[in-house]
Amino acid sequence: MTNMDILFDRVAAKGAVCLGLDTSPEYLPESLAARFPKPAGAVFEFNRNIIDATADAVACYKVQIAYYEAMGLDGMRVFAETLRYVKAAGVPVITDCKRGDIKASAEMYAKAHLGAGSDFESDFITLNPYMGLDTLEPYEPYLERGKGVFVLLRTSNPGWRDIQGLPLAVGGKVYSTVAVKIARLGEKYMGEKGFSSVGMVVGATDGGAIDADAAEMLRNALGGTFFLVPGYGAQGGAARDAAYYFKNGNGGAVNSSRAILTAYQSQPDGEERYAHYAREEVLRMAKDIGDNL
């Protein structure tokens, strides 16, 4: 089985929540932060407790590397420790690093984030194809071994229109042409569940009301593509928006980070029970998505 097959099975069994461990020190309970001399130590303790509380309820975790890079060497150690802790829990993990570079550099990124035994080894990483599809080639040896990638297609920020949404003289838009090219690459790496190890990132919001027709077009045209769907919750996307990207109740994972990590803040006992309220938000989100599929 490929990692994408495993993720498919997790969605079928647990629901479609991808919990983003985009953990900023400012998200932490003050009482937790006060126990550690450096923010990185508190972040790992927070992550560890969140994972313990939610590992049986999520499809996967996504760890955004920027939050850890910002804490320097201590943060990168916590990044590695968080990846190891998720893997020990038996849950698929995505490193969100949006790499996109020429061959030699891409080979090193691939080795760092997908190579067996690397401190930063993940099951999946996110990639940016807009520098050219040759930047994806160094990841193919890892796809052959069952690893997975999620390639940016149409993102959830308002500025996606600046490049991704530009109309083409031959018809369609930049992102729709990129979709065809990525899907063609992905055909070489189909798994047992009917989905490629080459997934795509599509937003549950496009900086405004989602274009339902465009979303349905993508899902229908890309039947073998598994979607990672950001934008739910704090970014304004709703379950009904994310649902357009699913196929027979699967084929997608919906990311939420801040809304889950800070769910405790609205509760009177949240400082002590932050992991409990993160779990409650995961369960609520999973039901919300499931009810709309």
**pLDDT tens digits, one per residue of 84-133:** 999 999 999 999 999 999 999 999 999 999 999 999 999 999 999 999 99
| DSSP characters over 84-127 | HHHHHTT--EEEEEEE---HHHHHHHHHHHHSTT-TT--SEEEE
CATH class of 3-292: alpha beta
Q: Please say whether the beta carbons of 134 and 107 come within 8 A.
A: no
pLDDT in tens, 207-263: 666 678 888 889 999 999 999 999 887 666 789 989 999 999 999 999 999 999 999
Rounded to whole angstroms, the Cα distance separating 204 from 131 reads 24
pLDDT in tens, 96-107: 999 999 999 999
Q: pTM of the prediction?
A: 0.96
Q: What does the mean pLDDT of the chain come to?
A: 95
Q: Please say whether the beta carbons of 162 and 130 come within 8 A.
A: no
HSE (side-chain half, CA atoms, 13 Å) at 272: 2
Name the catalytic one among 38, 98, 111, 173.
Answer: 98
pLDDT of residue 241: 87
Domain boundaries, the chain: 3-292
pLDDT grade, residue 79 (50/70/90)? Answer: very high
Active site residue 111: no
Neighbours of 136 (CB within 10 A): 23
What are residue 138's phi and psi, to 5 degrees? -65, -15
Rounded to whole angstroms, the Cα distance separating 219 from 227 reads 9
Report how far apart, in Å, the C-alpha atoms of 147 and of each of 68, 90, 103, 160, 247 are.
23, 15, 19, 27, 22
